[in-house]
Structure 1
Amino acid sequence: MTKYVLRETALSLLTRIGEQGGFSHVLLDREINKQQLSRQDGGLLTEIVYGTLQRRDLIDYQIQPFIAKQKKIKPWVRWLLYMSIYQMTYLERVPDHAIIHEAVEISKKQGHKGISSLVNGVLRNVQRKGLQSTEAIENPVERLAIETSHPMWLVSRWVDQYGMDVTKEMCEANNHHLPMSVRVQRLRISRQEAMNQLLEDGFAVEESPFSNQGIIVTKGHILKHSLFMDGKVTVQDQSSMLVAEMMDLERGMHVLDACSAPGGKTTHIAEKIEDVGTVTAYDLHAKKAKLVSKKAEELQLTSITAAQADSRKLQDLHEEETFDRLLMDAPCSGLGVLRGKPDIKYHKKEEDIFSLREIQDDLLAHVAPLLKKGGKLIYSTCTVDRHENEEAVKHFLASHPDYEVDPSFFDELPETLKGSIGESAYGLQIFPQEWDTDGFFLVRLIRKG
């Protein structure tokens, strides 16, 4: 793929994501597979799309002096300016003149002479005069929101919950690449065997401190490696691996995964029970439940049964006190995974947090009777908002006196995580800046016998 076509593709993706609400990771993966892009071209396309999305609000602020006189700029032209300035500012390998030339050529092809003149003029002005500084913004919260391209409501909310320092670190971390991590299928290969193979093949890898099945891949394209192709490793963020690690699982247990797609945690549970026992997995959407079955098949796990169901109605399908362990990985705002899905921060609204919390409360209340007395329930989310996390747990415990936070939960955390800034009486909040992972929350509850 020529660099011109690649940038044209990036513009098309950015416009669809930014204006039509498409999911960045889905559209990118689809395009890379459809075009059968090389690793290098796929990497550059991903860098331009993700980088531009991550820095959108900052770039918009910085170029205002150059576009202020324009009455209306078409959305695709605005995205073309954003992605061009992102490349000029953050990508050192490509010379400015090549970026400007290709942006002008794209604008000629997709627009008219007036648009290409505008694009050329703005980019050359930026090249000569530099970008507008944020120093003039007096409100520190507003300045942080613009400098890190997070919506003002979100930054204000985090500052209220965690203070300025933690929020600043979190916002800055969200604009940096998330290292790839994988989990070995422990019934088929050991972590050391997998690491040895990867090292022999030129990868740079290290052990995850979160899971004895986890490997952090700092160099190498794991998705093309035979270990991944053969289902001996699967991609999973380290924070997500912590769920099965903290479920206190044993061989032969009966486990319910109430919101299971796409199946990373489900399959990890099956591995922890040595594929002996049962893992009953549900998802609200049939298509997503099929993804769980597919993942189980890829990893050669037979203890998993996945089906479509609304987990608020599982009492129609199962007797009370059926399961030894229960996972409620609740649908949430996803504000902990902005590094891999930067578009979330522009599409979410504050009211979404409150409507999702109602669903979280309902789900917990409806699945709680299915756990045996003495059984353990993990509640987890991939968000960093207290309303969806600690406050949801607090609310559940207030209305379910037969449940409590498992006293041994904090003692059994990996040594790395003990004493974390996100530890509270109601669980562990993992921030993305702490261990270079997704933002994540989890707690283990126990049903009193």
Structure 2
Amino acid sequence: MTKFKLRSSALEILLRVDNGGAFSHLLIDQMLKSNRVSEKDHGLLTEIVYGTIQRKLTLAYFVKHFVKKNARLDSWVEWLLYLSFYQMYYLERVPDHAVIHEAVGIAKERGHKGIASFVNGVLRQAQRKGFPGFENIADDVEKLSVITSHPRWLVSRWEKQYGYEKTTAMCKANLETKPFSARIQPLKLSREKAINKLQSEGYDVAASAFSNQGLVVKGNLLKSSLFQTHMVTIQDQSSMLVAEMMDLAEGMTVLDACSAPGGKTTHIAEKLNNTGQIHAYDLHDKKAKLVNTKAEQLELTNIVAKGADSRQLANFHEECTFDRILIDAPCSGLGVIRGKPDIKYQKKEKDITKLAMIQRELLEKISPLLKKDGKILYSTCTVDREENEQVVQSFLEDNPDYQVDPTFFETLPDVMQGSFGISDVGLQIFPDDFQTDGFFLTRICLK
């Protein structure tokens, strides 16, 4: 595959993400599985697509510097300039002349000679003059927004919630690549054996401090023999902490109210040593089937996954049925930006308020299904207080029989003790804390 075709494929993905709201990681996966991209080009394609999306607002700032204000550019021309600027500014190993040559070729193929001449002129001007700095941006929030390519509304919101210093750290962390993390299937092998096996295959491996099943791995774990034989499951360390903090014991009856795609569900099943029963639900039947498929791959037999609106589960289960309940609530996903950079552009501030209402309703509707001595684990993969602390506080105020489990904080892993993110109602993990996803979790019980 020529680099011309590689960059054309990258542009195609970027346009589909921009126009249709498709997720970049899914489109990249489809492209890599096709015959259009040679294996040696997988890394560069992935880097160009993710990097261009991650840095979109910074790249737009550069484009505005070199293009007249009244110029109207087609979407594909804008994205072609973005991906070209990304390579010129951020990728030292890619020569500028190669980037410009390929971009002009794409412009000729997609447009006409005039467009190709325009693209050539803009890129050569940047090559000749260099890219503009950020010192002329007077407003600190605006400057941070441009430098780290986070929407201004989001930077402003986080700054009000956590202060400028923490917001800066989060935004910068969201631009970094985190290491692979995974958990072992403990019914099949020990963590020690998994580490030895991966090391023998050339991986740099360490034990996770979040879970006794967890591994932190440098290298493409997807190509490992353990992943391909379902001996390990790819899962972020923050996500692993959910099952660890549910205080599970063998034989329990567990509800996972928002289970797809099944990472936390199957972790719970493993913690139960494949005993008891897990009733797993997702709003869509198709996604519930993903949970069953994951359970089959891991040879777990204590999971029953179905499609249903979890706000209506009282139609299927009696009150006081479950020993443990997990509500891994649908959320804005603002804690997983570094892995899914599209999120920061697709989400709007109004979405957060709508999601908080759903999260609050889930707690209200599901909590009666808990046994008197049971516990609810509430979690999200976001860092926004309206979806986290405020949802929990609101629920506790309206339901005075419930409380945050006082033993929750003392059972957190040692690495979490004294964390910036510990509040009266739970633990907020930030993306800059441990090279993991941003995550919130707390444990609720009856008084």
For the aligned pair, the TM-score class normalised by the smaller chain equals over 0.9
Letter in structure 2 aligned against 1:180: F
CA offset at residue 6 of structure 1? 1.0
- CA–CA distance in structure 2, aligned partners of residues 69 and 294 of structure 1: 52
Could you tell me which residue of structure 2 aligns to residue 429 of structure 1? Answer: 428
- Identity rate, percent: 60
- CA–CA distance in structure 1, aligned partners of residues 106 and 115 of structure 2: 10
1:395 aligns with 2:382: no
CA offset at residue 179 of structure 1? 1.5
Range with greater deviation from structure 2 (154-163 or 205-214): 205-214
1:12-48, Cα deviation, whole Å (9 max, x unpaired): 0001112221111111111111237455422211111
- Asked whether the equivalents of residues 201 and 224 of structure 2 are also in contact (C-alpha less than 8 Å), the reply is no
TM-score by length of 2: 0.98
Aligned residue for 1:428, secondary structure, equals strand
- CA–CA distance in structure 2, aligned partners of residues 298 and 435 of structure 1: 30
1:244-290, Cα deviation, whole Å (9 max, x unpaired): 00000011111000000000000000000000000110000111000
Structure 2 unaligned residues grouped into runs of 5+: none
- Asked whether the equivalents of residues 239 and 438 of structure 1 are also in contact (C-alpha less than 8 Å), the reply is yes
- CA–CA distance in structure 2, aligned partners of residues 281 and 37 of structure 1: 38
Could you tell me which residue of structure 2 aligns to residue 2 of structure 1? Answer: 2
Letter in structure 2 aligned against 1:89: Y
Aligned residue for 2:275, secondary structure, equals coil
CA offset at residue 446 of structure 1? 1.2
Could you tell me which residue of structure 1 aligns to residue 410 of structure 2? Answer: 411
1:447 aligns with 2:446: yes
Letter in structure 2 aligned against 1:437: T
Letter in structure 2 aligned against 1:332: C
How many residues are paired up? 447
- CA–CA distance in structure 1, aligned partners of residues 12 and 352 of structure 2: 30
Could you tell me which residue of structure 2 aligns to residue 18 of structure 1? Answer: 18
Could you tell me which residue of structure 1 aligns to residue 81 of structure 2? Answer: 81
CA offset at residue 61 of structure 1? 0.8
- Asked whether the equivalents of residues 282 and 307 of structure 2 are also in contact (C-alpha less than 8 Å), the reply is yes
Could you tell me which residue of structure 1 aligns to residue 149 of structure 2? Answer: 149
Aligned residue for 1:126, secondary structure, equals helix
1:192 aligns with 2:192: yes
- CA–CA distance in structure 2, aligned partners of residues 69 and 429 of structure 1: 42
Letter in structure 1 aligned against 2:196: N
Could you tell me which residue of structure 1 aligns to residue 294 of structure 2? Answer: 295
- Asked whether the equivalents of residues 63 and 132 of structure 1 are also in contact (C-alpha less than 8 Å), the reply is no
Range with greater deviation from structure 2 (60-69 or 401-410): 60-69
Matches within 5 A, 1:302-317: 302-317=301-316
Structure 1: 4+ residue segments shifted above 4 A: 36-39
Could you tell me which residue of structure 1 aligns to residue 60 of structure 2? Answer: 60
Could you tell me which residue of structure 2 aligns to residue 328 of structure 1? Answer: 327
- CA–CA distance in structure 1, aligned partners of residues 62 and 212 of structure 2: 45
- Asked whether the equivalents of residues 319 and 371 of structure 2 are also in contact (C-alpha less than 8 Å), the reply is yes
Q: State the Cα RMSD in Å.
A: 1.0
1:251 aligns with 2:244: no
Aligned residue for 1:279, secondary structure, equals strand
Aligned residue for 2:306, secondary structure, equals strand
Could you tell me which residue of structure 2 aligns to residue 345 of structure 1? Answer: 344
Aligned residue for 1:170, secondary structure, equals helix
Could you tell me which residue of structure 2 aligns to residue 111 of structure 1? Answer: 111
Could you tell me which residue of structure 1 aligns to residue 47 of structure 2? Answer: 47
CA offset at residue 165 of structure 1? 0.3
- Asked whether the equivalents of residues 231 and 300 of structure 1 are also in contact (C-alpha less than 8 Å), the reply is no
Could you tell me which residue of structure 1 aligns to residue 225 of structure 2? Answer: 226
- CA–CA distance in structure 1, aligned partners of residues 255 and 41 of structure 2: 42
- CA–CA distance in structure 2, aligned partners of residues 37 and 3 of structure 1: 10
Letter in structure 1 aligned against 2:107: S
Range with greater deviation from structure 2 (85-94 or 316-325): 85-94
- CA–CA distance in structure 2, aligned partners of residues 269 and 38 of structure 1: 39
CA offset at residue 399 of structure 1? 1.2
Aligned residue for 1:35, secondary structure, equals coil
- Asked whether the equivalents of residues 174 and 339 of structure 1 are also in contact (C-alpha less than 8 Å), the reply is yes
Could you tell me which residue of structure 2 aligns to residue 101 of structure 1? Answer: 101
Per the alignment, do residues 181 and 40 of structure 1 end up closer, same or farther by CA in structure 2, a change over 3 Å counting?
A: farther
Letter in structure 1 aligned against 2:336: V
Could you tell me which residue of structure 1 aligns to residue 265 of structure 2? Answer: 266
CA offset at residue 178 of structure 1? 2.1
- Asked whether the equivalents of residues 6 and 37 of structure 2 are also in contact (C-alpha less than 8 Å), the reply is no
- Asked whether the equivalents of residues 240 and 265 of structure 1 are also in contact (C-alpha less than 8 Å), the reply is yes
- CA–CA distance in structure 2, aligned partners of residues 305 and 34 of structure 1: 34
1:370-428, Cα deviation, whole Å (9 max, x unpaired): 01011010000000000000000000111112211111111101100111111100100
Aligned residue for 1:136, secondary structure, equals coil
- CA–CA distance in structure 2, aligned partners of residues 149 and 18 of structure 1: 15
- CA–CA distance in structure 2, aligned partners of residues 199 and 224 of structure 1: 13
Aligned residue for 1:435, secondary structure, equals coil
Range with greater deviation from structure 2 (172-181 or 279-288): 172-181
1:167-218, Cα deviation, whole Å (9 max, x unpaired): 0010011111121111101111111101100001111111111111111111
- Asked whether the equivalents of residues 406 and 445 of structure 1 are also in contact (C-alpha less than 8 Å), the reply is yes
- CA–CA distance in structure 2, aligned partners of residues 191 and 24 of structure 1: 32
Range with greater deviation from structure 2 (55-64 or 236-245): 55-64
Range with greater deviation from structure 2 (208-217 or 257-266): 208-217
- Asked whether the equivalents of residues 331 and 382 of structure 2 are also in contact (C-alpha less than 8 Å), the reply is yes
TM-score by length of 1: 0.98
- Asked whether the equivalents of residues 62 and 133 of structure 1 are also in contact (C-alpha less than 8 Å), the reply is no
1:314-365, Cα deviation, whole Å (9 max, x unpaired): 0000000000000000000000000011011111110000001111111110
CA offset at residue 70 of structure 1? 5.4
- CA–CA distance in structure 1, aligned partners of residues 433 and 36 of structure 2: 35
- CA–CA distance in structure 2, aligned partners of residues 284 and 167 of structure 1: 33
Matches within 5 A, 1:147-226: 147-219=147-219, 221-226=220-225
- Asked whether the equivalents of residues 59 and 85 of structure 1 are also in contact (C-alpha less than 8 Å), the reply is yes
Per the alignment, do residues 181 and 39 of structure 1 end up closer, same or farther by CA in structure 2, a change over 3 Å counting?
A: farther
